[in-house]
Amino acid sequence: METSIVGVGVGITDRFRTVVEEKLGRLQPLAAKAQRIDVKVTHRAYRGGRVPDETVELTLVGKGPVVRAEAVDGDKFVALDLAVDKLAEQLRRAKEKRIDGRQHPRGAHFEKGSGSIAGIDVQPASADVLQAVATGTVPVQTDEDEVYSPVVIRTKNFDAEWMTVEEAVDRMELVGHDFFLFVDVRTDHPSVVYRRKGWDYGVIALATQAPPSAEALAS
């Protein structure tokens, strides 16, 4: 498996590279089809007396979905340990979920006959949430802004991906997040799957209003 290590605001020493190779050896049995793993170390300094920290991001690239994990600590070696542990746990959970799904199907599944989705708590986004997003009521801080705030909201832009709810749940498990944003192939609605308890998940979908009928336009 090819390894790429880059540092942003911090130098990458030979000792750190050696430790990375040793730690990533734990992932080989869990990611047999992985082709490359990218390691990004970012040093962040803050105003207001906040102690600087190091963020280690791991991105596993292979024939399947991309798997990501990250951790933050004042010591980049500790952050690396935490990130590797997270990535290993995500890979183990994904493997166990595939095995469990084959042996005991449960959770979300699509009923082809009725067109319904069983095992999913579906609810539309509230009008207040939509209004807050549309008007920018919630203040957003970008990566370029380093002014200290107890609540930091960072923005990331991704290309839209069409997939089923089941595929979105799998992708969420692989990236280690509590939610995953996608476009439902069955409805074309922007949707979010989120983790509840155990293997239970929920879905929030933005329902679009149907265009007016020809009769309504003619009247």
Task: Kindly report whether the global pTM for this prediction surpasses the value 0.75.
Answer: no
* Digit-coded pLDDT (tens) for 47-91: 777 888 999 999 888 877 788 888 999 899 999 999 999 888 888
Pairing of strands 162-163, 179-184: parallel
Residue 37 host element (H or E) = strand 34-44
- Give the separation between CA 90 and CA 194, rounded to whole angstroms: 16
* Digit-coded pLDDT (tens) for 101-122: 555 555 555 555 555 555 555 5
Q: Which two tokens stand for residue 56?
A: 């280690």
Sequence-distant (6+) residues with CB within 8 A of 147 are 47, 141
Q: Is 122 helix (H, G, I), strand (E, B) or coil?
A: strand
Q: Write down the residue that tokens 């067109």 correspond to.
A: 115
- Give the separation between CA 149 and CA 140, rounded to whole angstroms: 11
Q: What are phi and psi of 7, to 5 degrees?
A: -120, 140
